């Protein structure tokens, strides 16, 4: 018992590099040897998923990319899953970016989902309007007119010549707004300057660190759920596969054919083993740290 108490006491002065090494190993090992831990879905992700799922065929959805390479591991799988979900239902997608790097992220996601997987027609099924500087001023701008803010798309084509934009004058003409956001400008600005004033439903896929700030908007109904970082993305991937497998709701034939691809390319799900094990170890460290602190304090009180 005495030896165990001494061990607990010594934990307090453990070299931090040992902790880094352990965290590194518990992240690395599940990436090399996947455990296939089950993914349980939460209300936050389900709200976002079913809000998107309830959109009718041919509904127009505005996707805004507000993240870059630094937050790509968290948000890019969300963007890919949401695009797959929308295209599986035959929805039309209009993309814009409030971050300069968002354009590269959007192009990468579109190349995989719209081009390689669904083989959709640019300008008819989807369009990438590109990046415009101005943060929330751009959001306010498109509530008045798309053309005044995006006279051309990311390929330099005038938006008056893009079929998907023919009946889109302002953001009010959108059936849903989805923001992939890693900070400012991002999901909050979409709620404040487009969702609330126009009464267009807004949802978001976010970096984990932002989620606490967004929860009040979800609770108040100003946002339709939130996809919280990598775990949220894994949940969304699971829900989408369940939908396609179970042939639930609106679904185009192509989606059934792509099911093996959806299962194979689940970036967030394959990373969740590492995430879960790392969290377990961190919780263990916190408990051990607290026990060590109290053991040390009790010993000091004796003298």
CA pair distance 105, 178, nearest whole angstrom: 15
Closer by beta carbon to other proteins, 168 or else 188: 188
Q: Is residue 292 a contact partner of residue 14, using CB atoms and an 8 Å limit?
A: no
Q: Which of 84, 15, 61 is nearest to 202 (CA)?
A: 61
256: CB partners within 8 A, 6+ apart: 244, 247
Closer by beta carbon to other proteins, 27 or else 54: 27
CA pair distance 178, 25, nearest whole angstrom: 36
Closer by beta carbon to other proteins, 224 or else 243: 224
Does the protein bind other proteins through residue 133 (CB under 8 A)?
A: yes
Does the protein bind other proteins through residue 279 (CB under 8 A)?
A: yes
Does the protein bind other proteins through residue 118 (CB under 8 A)?
A: no
Q: Which of 6, 70, 116, 145 binds other proteins (CB under 8 A)?
A: 70
Does the protein bind other proteins through residue 71 (CB under 8 A)?
A: yes
* DSSP secondary structure letters along 45-95: HHHHHHHHHTSPTT-EEEEEEE--GGGHHHHHHHHHHHHHHHHHTT-EEEE
Of the listed pieces 70-78, 88-96, 167-175, 250-258, which binds other proteins according to CB under 8 A? Answer: 70-78
Q: What is the dihedral of CA 128, 134, 136, 141, to 10 degrees?
A: -70
Question: What character string, x for contact with other proteins (CB under 8 A) and - otherwise, covers 31-50?
Answer: xx------------------
Give min distance, CB of 110 to other proteins, in A: 18
The H-assigned helical ranges of the chain are 2-11, 16-32, 43-53, 72-88, 102-110, 136-142, 146-149, 187-190, 196-198, 211-219, 229-246, 253-257, 259-264, 267-302
Number of residues that bind other proteins (CB under 8 A): 53
Restricting to residues 186-245, which ones interact with other proteins according to CB under 8 A? 189, 191-193, 196-197, 207-212, 216-217, 219-222, 228-231
Closer by beta carbon to other proteins, 47 or else 53: 47
Question: Where do contacts with other proteins occur on this chain (CB under 8 A)?
Answer: 17, 20, 23, 27-28, 31-32, 70-74, 100, 130-131, 133-134, 136-137, 140, 148, 151-152, 154, 156, 189, 191-193, 196-197, 207-212, 216-217, 219-222, 228-231, 271, 274-275, 278-279, 282
């Amino acid at each position: 018992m005495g030896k165990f108490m001494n061990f607990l006491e010594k934990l307090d002065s453990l070299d931090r590099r040992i902790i880094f090494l352990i965290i590194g190993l518990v992240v690395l090992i599940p990436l090399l040897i996947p455990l296939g831990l089950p993914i349980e879905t939460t209300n936050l992700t389900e709200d976002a998923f079913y809000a998107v799922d309830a959109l009718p065929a041919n509904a127009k959805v505005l996707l805004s990319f507000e993240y870059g390479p630094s937050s790509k591991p968290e948000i890019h799988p969300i963007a890919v899953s949401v695009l797959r979900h929308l295209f599986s239902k035959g929805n039309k997608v209009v993309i814009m970016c409030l971050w300069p790097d968002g354009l590269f992220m959007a192009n990468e996601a579109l190349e995989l989902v719209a081009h390689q997987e669904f083989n959709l027609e640019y300008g008819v099924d989807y369009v990438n309007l590109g990046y415009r500087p101005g943060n929330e001023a751009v959001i306010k701008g498109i509530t008045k007119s798309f053309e005044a803010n995006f006279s051309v798309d990311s390929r330099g084509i005038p938006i008056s010549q893009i079929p998907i934009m023919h009946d889109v004058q302002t953001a009010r003409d959108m059936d849903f707004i989805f923001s992939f956001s890693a900070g400012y400008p991002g999901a909050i600005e979409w709620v404040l300057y487009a969702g609330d004033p126009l009464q267009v439903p807004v949802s978001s896929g976010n970096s984990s660190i932002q989620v606490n700030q967004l929860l009040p908007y979800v609770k108040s109904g100003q946002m339709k759920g939130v996809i919280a970082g990598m775990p949220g993305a894994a949940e969304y991937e699971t829900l989408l596969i369940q939908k396609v497998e179970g042939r639930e709701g609106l679904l185009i034939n192509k989606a059934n054919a792509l099911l093996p691809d959806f299962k194979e390319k689940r970036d967030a799900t394959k990373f969740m083993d590492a995430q879960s094990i790392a969290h377990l170890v961190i919780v263990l460290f916190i408990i051990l740290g607290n026990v060590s602190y109290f053991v040390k304090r009790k010993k000091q009180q004796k003298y």
